[in-house]
Amino acid sequence: MTRVLVTGFEAFGGQAINPTALIIDQLQTDVFQQTMKQAGVVLKTALLPVVKGESVNHCIDAIESFQPDIVLMLGQASGRANISFEKVAINLDDFRIPDNAGNQPIDQPVVDAGPAAYFTQLPVKTLMQALKQQGVGAEISYSAGTFVCNHLFYGISHYLATQTRLSSMCDFIHVPLLPEQIEAELQITDNQSLPSMPLETMVEGIACAIVTATSFPSEQQISAGTIN
């Protein structure tokens, strides 16, 4: 059995809900848990605060308790149409808005004297292709931003890289807004239009990513880069 930890975030930035919290709720249901067991997966979840430092610490506590083989961290990405597998975490906190505790660091490292970046060890192009084959929109992203999502991704990547007793691999996955979030987000951001994805499609995509990742496939050598 492969042990997988999946984390989500509480609501932030003026929104009343966060799709990742709802995904976590779905992953905890008896039906989903049984499906995962049949696929050879022991699945645990954790809901994290959108707070600098605390998000990393809460996730580390969950890792220490569960000792997962794979850690998948989920976050909301307004403006994205597809489920995005993040390729790289950078050592930078530059919060455009305050986090849920009022922190707003500018041009600060996530970890003092840490490396500039960490690349995920998971085969994200393979995971992307698996979702596409299921009819779920998916892409590779080369920036997790500079808010709490990247803060968590870098913080956990650094923790796992420096804890030699652990062999866990991690990645951060961004999901779009839910359709029911669009009206509020348009008022918050003053954008003219925003893409969204139904919750059931997100859950299907994350389930596919979990099962695919636990087979530890090799990375597909396909182009998934961007020009800008």
Active site residues: 149
Are 11 and 211 contacting, i.e. CB atoms less than 8 angstroms apart? Answer: no
Are 210 and 72 contacting, i.e. CB atoms less than 8 angstroms apart? Answer: yes
Cα separation, 167 vs 92, in Å, equals 25
Q: Which long-range contacts (CB under 8 A, 24 or more apart) does 57-66 make?
A: 59/7, 59/152, 59/155, 59/156, 60/156, 60/159, 62/5, 62/7, 63/5, 63/156, 63/159, 63/160, 63/166, 63/168, 66/3, 66/5
Cα separation, 27 vs 29, in Å, equals 6
